[in-house]
Each structure stands twice: as structure tokens, then as C-alpha cells.
Amino acid sequence: MPATPVWTIGSLLTWTTDYFAKKSVDEPRLSAELLLAHALQCSRVALYTQYERIPPAGQTAAFRALVKQRANHVPVAYLIGKAWFFSLEFTVTRDVLIPRPDTETLVEFVVQAARQHPEWSAPSMPAMLDLCTGSGAVAVALAKQLATANVVATDISPQALAVAQGNAQQHKLADRITFLEGDLYEPLATMPAPTLFHVIAANPPYIPTADLAQLPPTIRDYEPRLALDGGPDGLAFHRRIIAGARPLLHPAGLLIMEMQFDQGPALHSALAAAGHFANIRTIRDAAGHPRCVAATLA
């Protein structure tokens, strides 16, 4: 920012929005508001009730540092340490994928499915498994929406699990979410008794390896590759999830996985080839794009 004798909250927002636009930063106004609110330790609404206020020099300096990083396409969520998913606030670090509104499609579908099964509303039901939990966003949102649900959430990254556990504690759901470290289904072997799940949900890595270099810099350069790389065709994890699901699902249990928009046909074929899934369907997100594939155990 150029030197100037007076920087009000309003002038900081205006200058930063223009600067971000010139730097091709996504959502320049929203980015400016979130970063300034974080630096001033206030809400976004409060920015507009104090539009003419001149922030202390220390807070302005902190804001300048954040602006510099955002101009280099560091995601806002990592800069402020939080993101929102299903109207809930989540702590995020660079060890986890940033929760995205598109994934809310998966949660909404599972919640509606659960509400259509009265038998799933008994105490400690439904039992749900969240694979590749990352920040814990799906597990926490499901437990929050379904007051009797018990969720087991697995992830291969201990750093991601630490973030997820913190988010469960933040939302007072740690007593209904069990976090296990390991690769997909493997850590379930450590549980004291075999468990059948009414729902297996997963938002696994699904970007084909060759496509990673073409991702926007906010994703490619900052989000964990471990949570993005889905192998040669992006479906390496989906195939393993399908292969291991049958012995873990209740009769007529639901398997649902997030996917890339063009992966539906291949996943439909994989589920059909498994021979024990019925009602295979594609779930579209709010924008009408294919977002998830779901099936029930036949």
C-alpha cells in the first residue's frame, strides 16, 4: 500500500479490493473484508459500523502482511485459520483441505436419507463412517444435524486428525465422533468390536495426478497434495472404498462418495461391477453439476 497520512477502515477496504482485483485474486472484496476483520479482531459487519475509524498502527501492519500473502494467492482460510461449512465454523491449517460448499451436497443427501429411515433415529443411530475426514467437516456436520448419530472418522494424516479432533471439541461433538488414524478402512481393525454402518461417506482425493499441475495456484501451491491426488484417473481411492464397503454396511446401507464432475460414468460402472450395489445414482450440487455418486447395498 502506498504511504498515506490516514487509513480508515473504509479506505483500507477500497484500496485492498482494487489491489486484489489487479492481482487476479478470487473474490477480492470478500478477501479484503475477511482479512481486515481478522486483523482487527472483529466481525465483517463491524467493519461497516466503524467505516471511518482509523485502526491502530499494529493492526494495520498485521493487515498489510496478510494482504501481501493473499496477493500471492495464499487461500484466505489458511491466513485467518478458519473456514465455514454447513453454517459451522471450522479451524483449518495447511494440513487439511479447505472445506468447500460443494461438499455440503454430500452432507445434505445423507441427512435427508437418514430422516427417511425412522429406524435410524433410535439412540446411538445411525452409525456412520467418514473416510478421508481431513478437517472433520463432514463428520462434524453430520453429527450436528443428526442428534443421535455416532460417527467414526478416519484419515491417514495425524496432523489432519488433530485438526479434526479440535473441530469436534469446538462444536461439543467429541463424544459422538471417534477419530482413527490410518488408510481408509484399515484403522477399523483397532476398534474393540466389529461395527456395521448405516452410511459410509467419503470425500477422497479425486484429481488425476497429471491434472494437479493445472489446478489454480490457491489449490496447487498450498493445499495438501495428499488430499488431492487421486492417482492416474482420479479414482484410485474410490475403487478401494467400493471394494471394502460390503462387509461394513448394514443391509440397504448407503455408500456415498464425492467425485469430479466427469467421473460419474466410471463410478457407476465400478459400483455395478461390484455386484452387490443397487439404486446407483449421481447427486448434483446446487449449481447442477454432478458432485457425488451414491448406492445402497443390495
> With bands split at pLDDT 50, 70 and 90, how would you rate the model's confidence at 154?
very high
Above 80 in pLDDT, residue 3?
no
Q: Decide: residue 138, CB within 10 A, 0-12 exposed, 13-18 middle, 19+ buried.
A: buried
Across all residues in the chain, what is the average pLDDT? 95
* Identity of residue 61: A
DSSP 34-65: HHHHHHHTS-HHHHHHSTT----HHHHHHHHH
Given a cut of 90, whether residue 121 has pLDDT beyond it is: no
Q: For residue 200, what pLDDT is reported? A: 98
